[in-house]
């Protein structure tokens, strides 16, 4: 084989190696990242409807089209929205930080704990503060432990 043929092969291999070494990581090519406020323009009602109907792929498509994020980020976000929907009945995004009230300060909780009605105390605390079941149970258990 001619010397020119081997030079062409060497150049092609060098170009392939150079393009492989300098390429960006996969997630850097996937588009913008989701961050606080990046879903402001997303059609959350349509996304929630798709999630409720079990159409996760449709929800991912809607999110990608409206926010411009990559597939992996949209899938992760839809899965988080799905968890929020199943746990809290809402797809709330970045819920505002709330101050968790002392159970003693919630009307009726102290009396329910004193009467031994832990379930009622948890219900009252959840309704007043707006926390999940686990957080409310932990708060009431802490209150019972202080007594």
According to DSSP, residue 107 is labeled T
Percent of the chain at pLDDT above 70? 76
In tens, the pLDDT along 78-127 reads 888 888 777 767 665 544 444 456 787 888 999 999 999 999 999 998 88
Q: Look at residue 23 and give its three-state secondary structure.
A: coil
Cα dist from 91 to 36, 79, 138, whole Å? 15, 10, 24
Query: For the chain, which residues make up each domain, given as ranges?
Result: 3-88, 103-146
With CA atoms as reference, report the closest residue to 15 among 23, 27, 5.
23
pLDDT in the model for residue 102: 78
In tens, the pLDDT along 26-47 reads 544 444 455 444 555 567 788 8
pLDDT in the model for residue 40: 55
């Amino acid at each position: 084989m001619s010397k020119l043929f081997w030079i062409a092969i060497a150049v092609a291999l060098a170009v392939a190696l150079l393009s492989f070494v300098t390429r960006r990581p996969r997630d850097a090519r996937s588009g913008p990242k989701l961050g606080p406020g990046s879903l402001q323009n997303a059609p959350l009602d349509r996304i929630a409807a798709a999630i409720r109907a079990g159409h996760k792929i449709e929800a991912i498509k809607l999110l990608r089209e409206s926010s411009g994020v990559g597939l992996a980020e949209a899938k992760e976000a839809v899965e988080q929205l799905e968890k929020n929907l199943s746990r809290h009945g809402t797809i709330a995004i970045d819920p505002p930080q709330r101050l968790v009230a002392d159970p003693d300060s919630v009307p009726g909780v102290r009396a329910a704990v004193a009467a031994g009605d832990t379930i009622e105390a948890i219900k009252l605390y959840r309704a007043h503060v707006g926390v999940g079941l686990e957080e409310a149970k932990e708060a009431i258990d802490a209150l019972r432990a202080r007594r």
